[in-house]
Amino acid sequence: MSQWQEQRPSEEFYRVLDPDGNVVGEVPDVDEETLTRMYRTMVTSREFDEKALRMQRRGEVSIVARATGEEAVSCGSAAALEEGDWCFPSYRQTPAALYWGADMARAVAGMMGAEPETVDEHLPVEEEPPVSFTPVYVPLAVNVTNAVGSAMVDRFRDNDAVTMSYIGDGSTSQGDFHEALNFAGVFDAPAVTVCQNNQWAISVPAHRQTAAETFAQKAVAHGVPYDRVDGNDVLAVYAKAKEHCERARNGEGAGYIEAVTYRMVEHNTADEESVYRDADEREYWEDKDPIDRLETFLLRTGVLEEGDPERIREEVRDEIQDAVDEAREVPVSDPETMFEHHLHEESGGSWAQEHQRQELRAERNGENPFTDFTGEGLE
């Protein structure tokens, strides 16, 4: 039995394709190459998620947060960026990174626990993506704060770059989000914030997180222009993201988008969703699958031909397997690297840091590392 009963969100939002792939709005000006790239990116992300889950079940990866069912939000919004722009992703923005050419082998190696220095040494970057991505950030609300700060740097330097960041519906309840949006509104920061409203903040449904009618209207108090879009319609997400990016690039200030979607899988692999929600709601949302919707549209318009979807899936599965094989060749990182780049490092480290080093060394020597609670062992 679910602890919280789900409430389906209002469908009063901007939409181009309905759940059956029919055109119900104005199709944005997107060439066939970009449409195919969007589709391939979303398929790659879905297959990547499935591969990562299997690796987690085998113990090769410790934890996975999948973007399954939410691909259109990241893909459509990231596609609106241009060379020289910035993207501040969270842990569910795999499609955004893949759209801009992220190296899958490096991503897999990082998921398998390799330190960035080890990855750089064994899988050096041959070509940087044209859009700059910051490392994946887990504290979501402060991600927006950092992004707005980055956007202001570009404004002070008279760059026309746009910074896009992502936040979940639950994190819009945190103070950092409101401070960031307020600052962006007051100082016209060229920052576009995308709220990925997937209906769940881990085990808390959207209607238990806020009394606001929508997450979009939270931008009203900060004077930031906003839109609410169907997050499972990649063309709708792209169209509105493009508008907000162009506004920001032209010096007209920040923008905010609520993309209404649904988390069709667990929060991450440390979560057990069946404890707090019913399977019926997932079946309802599976009929609104963003990949199926775009695929239908592309087949009807002739951008894809019969047989192309399965061919693309086979190609991306091979690409993912090649990336995994490459990542598996990366040696295990020295655990001592976890202590690098910390505060006080140059002065020899703090007492706590040195204590943790001793505990690690004891464990690696086959000893019980948790017997020295007073620090006397460090004398």
Active-site positions read: 263, 267, 276
Phi/psi zone of residue 172: left (φ > 0), alpha (ψ -120 to 50 degrees), beta?
Answer: alpha
d(CA 82, CA 274): 40
Rg of the chain in Å (alpha carbons) = 22
Q: What is the DSSP secondary structure assignment for residue 23, as one 8-state letter?
A: B
Q: Strand 163-168's sheet: what is its strand order?
A: 132-133, 86-88, 163-168, 191-197, 255-260, 226-230
Q: Using an 8 Å Cβ cutoff, are 26 and 16 in contact?
A: yes
Q: What are phi and psi of 132, to 5 degrees?
A: -80, 125
d(CA 244, CA 227): 9
d(CA 214, CA 172): 11
d(CA 174, CA 130): 32
212: its two tokens: 């606001």
3-state secondary structure of 168: strand
175-187 and 140-156 helices, crossing angle to 10°: 20
Q: Using an 8 Å Cβ cutoff, are 158 and 131 in contact?
A: no
Q: Using an 8 Å Cβ cutoff, are 166 and 140 in contact?
A: yes
Nearest residue to 107 via CA among 74, 65, 72: 65
3-state secondary structure of 189: coil
